[in-house]
């Protein structure tokens, strides 16, 4: 076949294409079908004292149920704000820190985003999911699966802080967000407290004849810290159980499927013994970390993120990372991730860092920077 167009004609052709909103794939394939994941998610870290202060001050400004649906200070990834994406921690995940003061309540609503909570400080408050109450304590992980009615009420005496994790970015990208407040404010409550959490603790029982089918949502919705810690203690007693990239780690699961506790947000707790460090790897899924206990750092793409109890940090997709416990006590890192989604879509993939015995060279140390 001959190519007979003059340079001028070819240039005109490209100009016309722009006008008619069509494009030449022979120029642009590499921008669309990239060799590796391309994204706008930067790693970032927030100090607990900063967030806690903002949340406490919000306690003096507004009251949930009266002035606002929820009293939450959310984490804003600066790189995603530049794209106009408000409330994004990663491209898929949101994290907010909710404060409920003694006597307060946050009314019932439901949404198509799925949510998990991780309790940071305080006790005596409960979340009710479809009317079933579960009292929350530090270190517990609570599910409010997509479209379940949920409300929070504080019957204790001290401020209560927890982390909310929702798949805000994912649902926005998929144009699938729905939200509805519960007519009348509060969903009718069932008499049982902590029923789901406790019914599987010492066995599993169901009324004779009841249909028993595996699936979502998980029959447990409060995953107790005590149990997670017990599992991690058991694992960390033998080095054979050590994961080279995540130290001693458990994923919260749905016992009826063996899969993730929530169908879209993955949840994991890692334990690093004093001085323990991991090797670097990277994977498609992104994560938001919360430091339950300990002091150390995570190297993300050559940058050192120093963390201490209460801090939060972003692990972007496809980013080399390794963790180090620099303290004299055990470190516990809780994280939410979008791995269940990547796995369902058959997009999850990972790689291990081969050089330097799996340790990255630290090129800089992260400093939080206000946007000016």
Lay out the site mask for ligand GTQ across 102-121 (x = CB under 6 A, - = otherwise). ---------x----------
Spatial CB neighbours of 179, under 8 Å, sequence gap ≥ 6: 109, 110, 111, 112
Question: Nearer Cβ to ligand GTQ, position 185 or 255?
Answer: 185
Is residue 355 helix, strand or coil? helix
319-343: b (≥16 Cβ within 10 Å) or e: bbbbbbbbbeebbbbbbbbbbbbbe
Stretch 46-75: interaction string toward ligand GTQ, x if CB under 6 A:
------------------------x-x---
Among 164, 167, 303, 338, binds ligand GTQ (CB under 6 A): 164
- φ, ψ (nearest 5 deg) of residue 288: -120, 125
Strand partners, 98: 72, 162
Is residue 186 close enough to count as binding ligand GTQ by CB under 6 A? no
* C-beta closer to ligand GTQ: residue 105 or 232: 105
Distance CA 14, CA 158 (A): 66
d(CA 100, CA 156): 10
Nearer to ligand GTQ, 138 or 359 (CB): 138
Report the alpha-carbon distance of residue 229 to residue 334 in Å, rounded: 12
Query: Which is nearest to 311 in space by CA: 293, 284, 329, 286?
Result: 293
Spatial strand order in the sheet of 160-166 = 72-74, 94-100, 160-166, 115-121, 141-144, 222-223
From the CB of 328, what's the least distance to ligand GTQ, in Å? 34
Q: Give whichever of 70 and 193 is closer to ligand GTQ, judged by the CB atom.
A: 70
Q: How many chain residues touch ligand GTQ (CB under 6 A)?
A: 8
Nearer to ligand GTQ, 111 or 321 (CB): 111
CB 98 to ligand GTQ: min, Å: 6
Q: Nearer Cβ to ligand GTQ, position 166 or 228?
A: 166
Q: Closest separation between CB of residue 305 and ligand GTQ, Å?
A: 23
Encoded one letter per residue, x for contact with ligand GTQ by CB under 6 A and - for no contact, window 119-158 reads -------------------------------x--------
Nearer to ligand GTQ, 74 or 195 (CB): 74
Q: What does the angle CA 140 – CA 335 – CA 135 come to, to the nearest 5 degrees?
A: 15
Q: DSSP string spanning 121-157? A: E--SEEEEETTEEEE--TT-EEEE-TT--EEEEE-SS
Closest to ligand GTQ by CB, 164 vs 330, is 164
Q: What are phi and psi of 311, to 5 degrees?
A: -70, 160
Query: CB neighbours of 283 closer than 8 A, spacing ≥ 6?
Result: 317, 318, 339, 348, 349, 350, 351
Q: Taking CB under 6 A as the criterion, which residues in 224-253 touch ligand GTQ?
A: none
Our finding on whether 96 is near ligand GTQ (CB under 6 A) is yes
Q: Which of 141, 143, 166, 288 binds ligand GTQ (CB under 6 A)?
A: 166
Query: Minimum Å distance from CB 48 to ligand GTQ?
Result: 17
CB of 150 to ligand GTQ, least distance (A): 6
Which residues contact ligand GTQ by CB under 6 A? 70, 72, 96, 98, 111, 150, 164, 166
């Amino acid at each position: 076949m001959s190519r007979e167009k003059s340079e001028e004609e070819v240039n005109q052709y490209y100009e016309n294409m722009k006008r008619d909103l069509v494009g030449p794939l022979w120029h642009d394939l590499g921008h669309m079908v990239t060799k590796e994941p391309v994204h706008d998610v930067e790693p970032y870290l927030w100090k607990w004292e900063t967030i806690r202060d903002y949340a406490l001050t919000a306690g003096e400004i507004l009251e949930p149920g009266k002035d606002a649906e929820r009293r939450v200070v959310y984490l804003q990834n600066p790189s995603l704000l530049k794209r106009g994406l408000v409330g994004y921690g990663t491209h898929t995940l949101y994290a907010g820190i909710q404060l409920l003061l003694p006597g307060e309540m946050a009314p019932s609503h439901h949404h198509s985003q799925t949510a998990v909570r991780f309790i940071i400080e305080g006790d005596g408050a409960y979340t009710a999911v479809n009317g079933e109450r579960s009292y929350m304590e530090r270190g517990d992980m609570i599910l409010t699966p997509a479209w379940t009615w949920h409300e929070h009420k504080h019957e204790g005496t001290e401020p209560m802080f927890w982390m909310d994790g929702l798949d805000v970015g994912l649902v926005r990208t998929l144009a699938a967000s729905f939200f509805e407040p519960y007519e009348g404010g509060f969903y009718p409550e069932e008499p049982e407290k902590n029923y789901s959490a406790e019914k599987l603790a010492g066995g599993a029982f169901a009324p004779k004849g009841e249909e028993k089918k595996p699936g979502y949502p998980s029959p447990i919705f409060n995953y107790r810290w005590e149990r997670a810690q017990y599992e991690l203690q058991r694992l960390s007693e033998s080095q054979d159980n050590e994961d080279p990239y995540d130290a001693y780690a458990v994923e919260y699961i749905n016992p009826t499927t063996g899969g993730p506790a929530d169908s879209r947000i993955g949840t994991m707790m890692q334990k690093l013994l004093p001085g323990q460090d991991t090797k670097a790897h990277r994977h498609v899924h992104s994560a938001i970390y919360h430091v339950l206990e300990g002091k150390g750092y995570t190297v993300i793409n050559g940058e050192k993120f120093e963390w201490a109890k209460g801090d939060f940090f972003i692990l972007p997709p496809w980013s080399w990372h390794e963790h180090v416990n620099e303290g004299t006590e055990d470190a516990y890192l809780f994280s939410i991730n979008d791995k269940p989604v990547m796995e369902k879509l058959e997009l999850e993939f990972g790689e291990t860092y081969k050089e330097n015995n799996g340790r990255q060279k630290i090129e800089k140390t992260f400093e939080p920077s206000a946007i000016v």
